[in-house]
Structure 1
Amino acid sequence: MSRIVYVNGDYVPEEEAKVSIFDRGFLMADAVYEVTSVLDGKLIDFAGHRARLGRSLTELQMDAPVTDDELLEIHRELVKRNGITDGLVYLQVTRGNPGDRDFAFPNPAVKPGLFLFTQSKPGLADAPAAKAGWKIISIPDERWGRRDIKTTQLLYPSLGKMMAKKAGVDDAWLVEDGFVTEGTSNNAYIVKGRRIITRALSHDILHGITRAAVLRMAKEAQLEVEERSFTIEEAKDADEAFVTSASAFVMPVVEIDGATLGSGKPGPIAARLREIYIEESRKVAV
């Protein structure tokens, strides 16, 4: 049975889903997106993703295509129709279809496009990679300057993941002016003692929803959090490292550019934060 997807107001089989070739999301990556995890059939951190979507739309001067309540209902309906127990809901909002290609925004504004689909990922919370830890490489950060807006301009992150794959590792950390910004699709952290270090929020990195939750939980667990930039060399000397994202939750990092961190196994702080995040997120899932 094919998936049911949502396209501009309609629930349709994926084979029947169509988007105009003149949609600005297709032509110019003039679009934003969110990915919300599903555990036990419920949405994780939905309120945070909804709020960040609103911020992204505001920054790009786009209108919201539906209300917050309608958006939640669409998510829930897709989860139900596709029988998702563990997995993801992908959402994309585009500036819409002005009827022809033009660099300037359409005037008057056209109705935004709204597309959603699900991905089933059984055992999402028990990913084997979390027990082994990720190995990463560092690469130059060559993205545009507004990484805080979650746009669909993902070509360079995609190239970064391919560089990591070619190197036989799991992901890449992006480096700008000598300092780590973030991973290709995640926020980056190092651990020294009981101190967690991660880059401060700015236009340089995505304001991760999982990041916010994990840092709050870390402080509640009496861990020190220091928001500042760090280098790859500093990361290699750290006791532990990890990344966070909506789909990876808290993922330990055990190797950076060939240098083994600690014992070469996931560290206790990253492992514990993963447990806490999944446990607490399940309690408040919608």
Structure 2
Amino acid sequence: MTLHTSPTRTATDPRYAGGAAYMDGTFMPLGEARIPITDWGYRRSDVVYDVVSVWDGAFFRLDDHLTRFRASMEATRLVPRETDDEIRTMLHRLIALSGLTESYVAMDCLRGAPLPGTARHPKNTRPYLIAFAIPYVRLVSPEIIERGTHAIVASAVRIPDASLDARHKNFHWADMTSGLFEADERGADMPILLDAAGNVTEGPGFNVFVIHDGRVATPDSNVLGGITRLTVIELCAELGLPCDVRPVSAEELRNADEILFSSTSGGPFGVTRIDGRILSNDRPGPLTNRLREAYWAKRKAGWHAEPVRYDLV
């Protein structure tokens, strides 16, 4: 399946050829963006964020991403001065400045340092917004997507919801980072993290689906409400595939017929090995391929698309 078919564009200003950034009200080339090292966004990972993709010159489900981003900001008391409409226009302008037609677009809200003369308490900080647009990034390479991802069940346990609500996309990645190192040491591509009860949660940058006897399931708790996860659930309904949102045990994961990951950075893609066990003849399975092909076909047809306003340079 050929994915990259949109016309080529270039940045009007060559300084933006590598990407564009927005920092607290100011647009600049990506390489000029800087975060003060005293800000709590850096010192305490006090950040919520979201990532939306652009393909064929159009944002995918931008409304959903902005809604989730706003919910994350409000839940963590990280509310910048920009409205949702202003954020939308800012994201369009980042793409227009960069000239990209396929892009990974990140938006972050950071907590600054406490104001001078005030107590070192988060109530005395000013949240602010940063964002950037760079060429489209895949979670794993096209070659790995073609042969299927090799995954492990990590020994690191996911940060519990009681401590940090996973629905609010955040920078607390110590558990995910530990899992990534473990996967690499065990010769795998990606880790899947369990919760303290031994149920599947998610992985670094993706949600998880299991398929058994033609039925799809995805975990219902301690997971990000992924936009691509939502899309896969919708595609299952369209294709007549039963899909349950419920607890998924580690045993069910390890014994699945197929395993599917979903991410903004790559869409739905298959897993062909879990803890060394080979699935689907070591190639992405038939339902995985069906969902992936439907996802990209519908995106190319303009499903949930918002064309980029390239006039905003």
CA change 1:216–1:22 in 2 (3 A) is same
Letter in 2 for 1:211: R
Aligned match for 2:206, one of 186, 189, 197: 186
List per-residue Cα deviations over 1:196-233 (Å, max 9, x = no partner).
01111x3x111111111110111121110112222233
Aligned mates of 1:30, 1:103 — CA distance in 2? 14
| TM-score of the pair, normalised by structure 2 | 0.83
Aligned mates of 2:228, 2:119 — CA distance in 1? 36
Structure 2 counterpart SS, 1:255: strand
Structure 2 counterpart SS, 1:247: coil
- Between Structure 1 and Structure 2, how many residues are aligned? 282
List per-residue Cα deviations over 1:220-257 (Å, max 9, x = no partner).
21110112222233223221111111112101011100
CA change 1:126–1:285 in 2 (3 A) is farther
Deviation for aligned residue 1:128 = 3.1
Letter in 2 for 1:165: D
| Segment of structure 1 superposing worse, 30-39 or 112-121 | 112-121
Letter in 1 for 2:200: V
CA change 1:194–1:7 in 2 (3 A) is same
Q: Which residue of 2 aligns with 1:168?
A: 187
Q: Give unpaired runs (5+ residues) of structure 1.
A: none
Deviation for aligned residue 1:278 = 2.1
Measured on the aligned residues, the alpha-carbon RMSD in Å equals 2.3
2:117 aligned with 1:91, yes or no? no
Structure 2 counterpart SS, 1:115: strand
Structure 1 counterpart SS, 2:96: helix
Aligned mates of 1:125, 1:86 — CA distance in 2? 16
Aligned mates of 2:138, 2:279 — CA distance in 1? 27
CA change 1:259–1:62 in 2 (3 A) is same
Aligned mates of 1:147, 1:180 — CA distance in 2? 13
**Matched-pair contact (CA < 8 Å) for 1:65–1:93:** no
**Matched-pair contact (CA < 8 Å) for 1:87–1:118:** yes
Letter in 1 for 2:235: M
Structure 1 counterpart SS, 2:211: strand
2:126 aligned with 1:106, yes or no? no
Aligned mates of 1:148, 1:170 — CA distance in 2? 24
List per-residue Cα deviations over 1:124-153 (Å, max 9, x = no partner).
999333221101011132425321211111
**Matched-pair contact (CA < 8 Å) for 1:54–1:64:** no
Structure 2 counterpart SS, 1:181: coil
| TM-score of the pair, normalised by structure 1 | 0.90
Fraction of identical pairs, as percent: 29
Q: Which residue of 1 aligns with 2:172?
A: 153
Aligned mates of 2:142, 2:263 — CA distance in 1? 14
2:274 aligned with 1:246, yes or no? no
Aligned mates of 2:282, 2:40 — CA distance in 1? 46
Aligned match for 2:92, one of 76, 83, 90: 76
2:142 aligned with 1:127, yes or no? yes
**Matched-pair contact (CA < 8 Å) for 1:33–1:93:** yes
Letter in 2 for 1:138: V
